[in-house]
Amino acid sequence: MNAEKDRRDVRKHRLPVNDEGFYGDGRFGGAFVPPELENNIRELADAYYEAVGDEDFMEEYRRLLRDYVGRPTPLYRAERLSRRYGTNIYLKREDLNHTGAHKINNAVAMGLLARRMGKRRVIAETGAGQHGVAAATVCALLGLECTVYMGETDIERQRPNVERMRMLGARIVGVKSGTGTLTDAVNEALAEWCRNPAETFYLIGSAVGPHPYPEMVAEFQSIISEEIKAQVPLLTGKPLPDYVIACVGGGSNAAGAFFHFIDEPSVRLVAVEAAGHGVDTGEHAATMTVGSEAVLHGSRTLVIKNGAGETAEPYSISAGLDYPGVGPLHAWLAASGRTTVLAATDSEALAAARCLTRMEGIIPAMESSHALAALDKLSFDPDDVVVINLSGRGDKDMDTFLSCCGA
């Protein structure tokens, strides 16, 4: 099968990205990797385009999404929340997936790709632990060796997911460098890939990194918006939602939620970043709000910097949003004005989580709570259809919720 033809076909119908991995007008994206990874990147790209053009591969992927992950996930009308805000609020229930988050969508596909490429050893990074659990789950399913890199800070604040990964057979490598969070875990995973490129498959969890990773993650998460687009007319009688809202750290769940609406200008896409203690405090992860262009983890994107012009240490109460950059797709969507970018503080996200819990009986992940906080920052018409991607469940965050909010 011709990999170049597959590449053209996938891109023609999916994302606005060129052969070098740059999005839109060419400002963001690319593959800035050391020489020892160049062959791996080319091998990965060719394998990816061949796989998505292979009906047998895609059929197995779809079968596992249906029978193992539990898709499609419901698009749930939140009645009490809708009355509170005077509009029609629907939650895309990615928290009901096997493993409790959207991360499994991408992990299943990449696990199948690793097996197809003959790789027996998988490495992954994780912040909140949701991607680590998904990677460990898929490796257990497919009989692959799994090593997960996780910052020591995140290991302490996301202990339930750490124990799940270990029970699934994954080896956890605690990262002590930097602040011991997601940025440092990505650094260590990339370093390990450089040390052992031939035998290792890097199962990245967010829409970041060198091309083709951002495109791959968006493609394998696009099932989210594919389902939303089919569900909205059935549930509301309207052809499209008026709003799709998602939290953004690196951007995997938002890439999936926005994917099939990028070329639908009537749909307002809202990306919600982590404002931490406030975007004017220096303690935040609001990359699209205050970031500037730089190369981070192999792609040119928007990055938050300190006074010395170096990549700043991000901060968020949410381990999954605690990242100093954003995927190049989101950098382009923000810079072009296609997305509306908001930033929610820790306190706003906690309040939104408490509101959903008490009004709908659903405990959201700390990451998803940032998306929910957008409800207090936007004005809606009574007939609007507002879809919020509930990217994960909040059992991993109970210590945070209880310490900050009480019972």
Name beta bridge partners: 18. Answer: none
141 exposure class (CB count in 10 Å sphere: 0-12, 13-18, 19+): middle
* Statement to judge: residues 214 and 244 lie in one domain: no
CATH number at residue 282: 3.40.50.1100
Task: Decide if 388 is inside a domain.
Answer: yes
Task: Decide if 331 is inside a domain.
Answer: yes
pLDDT, residue 12, reads: 46
List the chain pLDDT tens, one digit each, 407 residues: 455 555 545 544 489 999 999 999 999 999 999 998 999 999 999 999 999 999 999 999 999 999 999 999 999 999 999 999 999 999 999 999 999 999 999 999 999 999 999 999 999 999 889 999 999 999 999 999 999 999 999 999 889 999 999 999 999 999 998 888 888 999 999 999 989 988 899 999 999 999 999 999 999 999 999 999 999 999 999 999 999 999 999 999 999 999 999 999 999 999 999 999 999 999 999 999 999 999 999 999 999 999 899 999 999 999 899 999 999 999 999 999 999 999 999 999 999 999 999 999 999 999 999 999 999 999 999 999 999 999 999 999 998 888 886 65
> Which of 200, 218, 236 lies at the terminal end of a domain, its last residue?
218
Cis peptide before 16 (omega within 30 of 0): no
| Contact criterion met (CB below 8 Å) for 180 and 189 | no
pTM here is: 0.95
* Statement to judge: residues 34 and 127 lie in one domain: yes
* Statement to judge: residues 91 and 108 lie in one domain: no
How far is 96 from 85, CA to CA, in rounded Å? 24
Task: Decide if 10 is inside a domain.
Answer: no
Task: Decide if 12 is inside a domain.
Answer: no
> Which of 189, 218, 247 lies at the terminal end of a domain, its last residue?
218
* Statement to judge: residues 321 and 349 lie in one domain: yes
pLDDT, residue 3, reads: 57
* Statement to judge: residues 330 and 387 lie in one domain: yes
pLDDT, residue 13, reads: 41
* Statement to judge: residues 232 and 325 lie in one domain: yes
3-class secondary structure for the chain?
A: CCHHHHHHHHHHHCCCECCCCEECCCCEECCCCCHHHHHHHHHHHHHHHHHHCCHHHHHHHHHHHHHHHCCCCCEEECHHHHHHHCCEEEEEEHHHCCCCECHHHHHHHHHHHHHHCCCCEEEEEECCCHHHHHHHHHHHHHCCEEEEEEEHHHHHHCHHHHHHHHHCCCEEEEECCCCCCHHHHHHHHHHHHHHCCCCEEECCCCCCCCCCHHHHHHHHHCHHHHHHHHHHHHHHCCCCCCEEEEECCCCHHHHHHHHHHCCCCCCEEEEEEEEEEECCCCEEECHHHHCEEEEECCEEEEECECCCCCECCCCCCCHHHCCCECCHHHHHHHHCCCEEEEEEEHHHHHHHHHHHHHHHCCCECHHHHHHHHHHHCCCCCCCCEEEEEECEECHHHHHHHHHHHCC
The catalytically annotated residue of 50, 125, 215, 348 is 125
Amino acid (1-letter code) at residue 72: P
How far is 141 from 136, CA to CA, in rounded Å? 9
Q: Structural domain tally of the chain?
A: 2
* Statement to judge: residues 250 and 338 lie in one domain: yes
391 catalytic residue (yes or no): yes
The catalytically annotated residue of 103, 119, 229, 396 is 103
How far is 303 from 250, CA to CA, in rounded Å? 11
Per the structure block, which two tokens stand in for 194? 């450089």
How far is 238 from 230, CA to CA, in rounded Å? 11
How far is 101 from 253, CA to CA, in rounded Å? 9
- Of 194, 201, 54, 39, the C-alpha closest to 117 is 201
Task: Decide if 210 is inside a domain.
Answer: yes
| Contact criterion met (CB below 8 Å) for 62 and 76 | no
Phi, psi dihedral angles at 150 (to 5 degrees): -145, 130
* Statement to judge: residues 173 and 51 lie in one domain: yes
* Statement to judge: residues 315 and 227 lie in one domain: yes
The full length of the chain comes to 407
* Statement to judge: residues 198 and 261 lie in one domain: no
Task: Decide if 19 is inside a domain.
Answer: no
pLDDT, residue 402, reads: 85
198 exposure class (CB count in 10 Å sphere: 0-12, 13-18, 19+): exposed
Domain that includes residue 141, residue range: 24-66+103-218
pLDDT, residue 407, reads: 52
| Contact criterion met (CB below 8 Å) for 203 and 12 | no
| Contact criterion met (CB below 8 Å) for 196 and 234 | no
* Statement to judge: residues 193 and 116 lie in one domain: yes
Task: Decide if 302 is inside a domain.
Answer: yes
The catalytically annotated residue of 206, 316, 391, 396 is 391
pLDDT, residue 158, reads: 87
Task: Decide if 14 is inside a domain.
Answer: no
* Statement to judge: residues 285 and 155 lie in one domain: no
> Which of 185, 218, 251 lies at the terminal end of a domain, its last residue?
218
